[in-house]
Amino acid sequence: MNKKLLQRPFSIPQPRDVGSVNWLGLWELYMKEVRRFTKIPLQTVGAPVITGLLFLLIFMFAFGDLRGSVAGVPFIEFLAPGLIMMAMIQNAFINTSSSILVAKVQGNIVDVLMPPLSALELAIGWTAGAVTRGLMVGAVSLLAMSLFVDIHVHNPWIILFHAVFGCIFMASIGILGAIWADKFDHMATVTNFVITPLIFLSGTFYTIDRLPDGFRMIANYNPFFYCIDGFRYGFIGQDSAQLEIGIVVQLLINCVALFTTYKVIKSGYKLKA
């Protein structure tokens, strides 16, 4: 028996030609990111939806009648799109930042870096997974809030544009933050001192014309403001800034964020020993 086995010709495995784009590897990386958050939907999707609903209900019962109309619509109808967008971009950021940082801390980031995936493919796979989570959170939040608020859609394409590009931008920021961070405290610093203040100063709960001059200037240079303002325009048909300017800003900041993400991953900064 052993002699027969020895007499059999053995073929040497040959490396697979993945071509110019490793479509299979890119798909598997994307599905890895999707499976990562869909395994615990109550935590990754349910929790942000409940948080958004709590914000909505608190403002509805505490300030709804007092505020009257904002931007020509009832205050609650003005508030709901901002809360939905806030939930989406926060979860897009959390998805990439937690995925990469946990892999770095646990030492299994090598499992993602070893396969034949280019820096661009890694950036796209991580970002696409985060966008999927953000859009899923947004869709469920929209359905949940529609039970309490009359949701009117003015322009669905504007809504989709700002939803996707807002999630892409925050996913890129999450990747960069996680690559820079060495531990969870570093990531918490980015979240608490950069992301959260900019989100709360973006006009989620108010129109920026109610801000003092100094804070209004900050809002005009805040990329989250154009993201949330454009997304809200898709529902109520009113904006605080010119829609065209917001679209241009979204395109520019996403190009810069994606290019920076690609270059940092390609350099191996804090990823490769």
Which tops the pLDDT comparison, 222 or 9? 222
Which tops the pLDDT comparison, 117 or 201? 117
Q: What is the pLDDT of residue 39?
A: 94
pTM: 0.89
Q: What is the pLDDT of residue 222?
A: 87
pLDDT digit string (tens) for 24-47?
999 999 999 999 999 999 999 999
Instruction: Tell me how far the alpha carbon of residue 58 is from its chain's centroid.
Output: 25
pLDDT digit string (tens) for 124-163?
999 999 999 999 999 999 999 999 898 889 999 999 999 9
DSSP codes joined into one string, 153-207: -S-HHHHHHHHHHHHHHHHHHHHHHHHH-SSHHHHHHHIIIIIHHHHHTTTSSS-
Q: Model confidence at 13, in pLDDT bands (50, 70, 90)?
A: low
Q: Model confidence at 17, in pLDDT bands (50, 70, 90)?
A: low
Average pLDDT for the chain: 88
Rg (CA), the chain: 22
Contact 137, 88 (CB under 8 A): yes
DSSP codes joined into one string, 30-59: HHHHHHHHHTSHIIIIIHHHHHHHHHHHHH
Packing angle of the helix pair 119-145, 243-267 (nearest 10 deg): 140
What type of residue is 12?
Answer: I
Contact 234, 88 (CB under 8 A): no
Angstrom distances, CA of residue 182 to CA of 102, 108, 185, 195, 269? 10, 14, 8, 18, 12
Q: Measure the CA dihedral 92/94/96/97, to 10°.
A: 150
Q: Measure the CA dihedral 259/261/266/267, to 10°.
A: 110
Average pLDDT over residues 208-221: 77
Percent above pLDDT 90 for the chain? 57
Closest CA to 201 of 187, 189, 190, 216: 216
pLDDT of residue 9 exceeding 60, the answer is no
pLDDT of residue 262 exceeding 90, the answer is yes
Q: How many CA atoms lie within 13 Å of 202's alpha carbon, on the beta-carbon side?
A: 28
Q: What residue segments make up the domains of the chain, in order of their start?
A: 41-267
Tokens of 131: 């966008």
Average pLDDT over residues 164-193: 93
CA angle 51/55/61 to nearest 5° reads: 140
Tokens of 183: 């531990």
Q: What is the pLDDT of residue 3?
A: 56
pLDDT of residue 67 exceeding 70, the answer is no
Rounded distance between C-alpha atoms, residue 96 and residue 131, angstroms: 10
pLDDT of residue 215 exceeding 70, the answer is yes
Q: What is the pLDDT of residue 209?
A: 76
Q: What is the pLDDT of residue 273?
A: 60
Contact 61, 179 (CB under 8 A): no
